[in-house]
């Protein structure tokens, strides 16, 4: 099993008053990591800090983490932990719903989501997605959709909840039904994600060789 970073090595996020007119970022970190032997992929070490620390730094506007299980394991990040509100781990759409419910309660109108296992996405992602006027806008690269990276109006939480209750689990299908737009990103594999020990080794190689900035 790949070792995880010790929580005490993670610097807490500084306190700051949120700008409620700006989009709020939420990292989707609820995956069950079966191909990594279980545990939390976002807490695996990448270049001396957890993958999640890289994701938070790139997203920039992150103010919460969507994750299930014991929240104490993520406490060192200093952010609210948002569990699914629906049972039986319905997948990433349930994490998006938790993010929208939380953001709406906090007074935010728009949420930008990012996957917690994808450490090299462009740092202007949140700005570009949030700028699209569509109710939901998702990232694409080289003709491939990356629906975990998206901007969502919090007003979509009711139809999203209805879709989940009716058994829908496909992110793109729900997004299309809600009027999705697509925002294209260029570069060399900016949405590379870590699913296996081999992927983690490749991410470490890319980071060591400076290839994590190859999307620019």
Has this prediction a pTM greater than 0.85?
yes
Q: Where are the domains of the chain?
A: 21-209
Strand positions, DSSP E, 45-200: 45-46, 49-50, 62-66, 81-82, 110-115, 136-141, 144-153, 181-184
Residue 1 token pair: 């099993």
pLDDT digit string, tens, across residues 139-152: 999 999 999 999 99
Ranges of residues in the chain with a pLDDT under 70 are: 1-21, 31-39, 212-216
Please give the pLDDT value at position 40: 83
pLDDT digit string, tens, across residues 196-214: 999 999 999 999 998 765 4
Q: Is 208 exposed, middle or buried (0-12, 13-18, 19+ CB in 10 A)?
A: exposed
Please give the pLDDT value at position 32: 59
Residue 114 token pair: 């990012």
Q: Which CATH number fits domain 21-209: 3.30.70.260, 3.90.550.10, 3.40.50.2000, 3.40.50.261?
A: 3.90.550.10
Instruction: Write the CB contacts of 201 (distance below 8 Å, at least 6 apart in sequence).
Output: none
Please give the pLDDT value at position 215: 44
First-to-last CA distance in the chain? Answer: 33
Can you tell me the distance from the alpha carbon of 194 to that of 118, in angstroms, rounded to the nearest whole number?
A: 6
Please give the pLDDT value at position 89: 79
Tally of CA atoms within 13 A in the half-sphere of 27 that contains its CB: 29
Please give the pLDDT value at position 23: 85
């Amino acid at each position: 099993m790949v070792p995880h970073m010790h929580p005490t090595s993670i610097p807490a996020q500084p306190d700051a008053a949120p700008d409620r007119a700006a989009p709020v970022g939420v990292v989707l970190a609820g995956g069950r990591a079966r191909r990594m032997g279980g545990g939390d992929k976002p807490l695996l070490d990448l270049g001396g800090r957890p993958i999640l620390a890289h994701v938070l730094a790139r997203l920039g506007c992150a103010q919460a983490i969507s994750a299930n299980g014991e929240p104490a394991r993520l406490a060192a990040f200093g952010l609210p932990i948002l569990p699914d509100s629906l049972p039986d781990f319905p997948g990433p759409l349930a994490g998006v719903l938790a993010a929208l419910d939380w953001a709406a309660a906090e007074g935010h109108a728009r949420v930008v989501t990012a996957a917690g296992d994808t450490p090299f996405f462009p740092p202007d992602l949140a700005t570009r997605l949030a700028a699209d006027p569509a109710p939901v806008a998702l990232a694409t690269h080289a003709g491939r959709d990356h629906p975990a990276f998206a901007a969502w109006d919090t007003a979509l939480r009711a139809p999203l909840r209805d879709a989940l209750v009716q058994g829908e689990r496909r992110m793109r299908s729900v997004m299309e039904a809600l009027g999705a737009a697509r925002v294209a990103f260029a570069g060399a594999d900016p949405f590379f994600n870590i699913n296996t020990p081999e992927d983690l080794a490749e991410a470490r190689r890319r980071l060591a060789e400076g290839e994590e900035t190859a999307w620019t």
